[in-house]
Amino acid sequence: DTAVSQTPKYLVTQMGNDKSIKCEQNLGHDTMYWYKQDSKKFLKIMFSYNNKELIINETVPNRFSPKSPDKAHLNLHINSLELGDSAVYFCASSQDGSFNSPLHFGNGTRLTVT
């Protein structure tokens, strides 16, 4: 009964390929996020989806795109993968877009681009 689940846990692929990472939360939360954690453990927000409003970090390449089929899912699609995309990607959710609700994180997807 994992609260926020991501699949796959590990993803190894070659440059130029297109891949997707799936995220599902069973907490009934309204807001979901995607974060990228680099090799130095720095967390960078990529996207947030709240009540059908998508907030995009303008520094994220447009090769990355989120897809939300419903409130419980926020999948991440990556086109034309590059070496620099190698990182751990975390999905998270919070109860709503309020300022006092903490984030609940999945266990991450380690993406390795060769």
Min dist CB 43 to another protein, Å, is 4
Q: Would you say 17 or 93 has its CB closer to another protein?
A: 93
Name residues whose C-beta falls within 8 Å of residue 100's C-beta, 6 or more positions apart in sequence: none
Q: Round to whole Å and give the CA distance between 31 and 96.
A: 5
Q: Which residues bind another protein (CB under 8 A)?
A: 4, 31, 33, 40-43, 45, 48, 50, 55, 90, 92, 97-100, 102-108
DSSP collapsed to 3 states, 79-105: CCCCHHHCEEEEEEEECCCCCCCCCEE
Based on CB atoms, which residue is closest to another protein, 18 or 99? 99
Minimum gap (Å) between residue 16 Cβ and another protein: 28
CB closer to another protein, 84 vs 99: 99
Tell me how long the chain is.
114
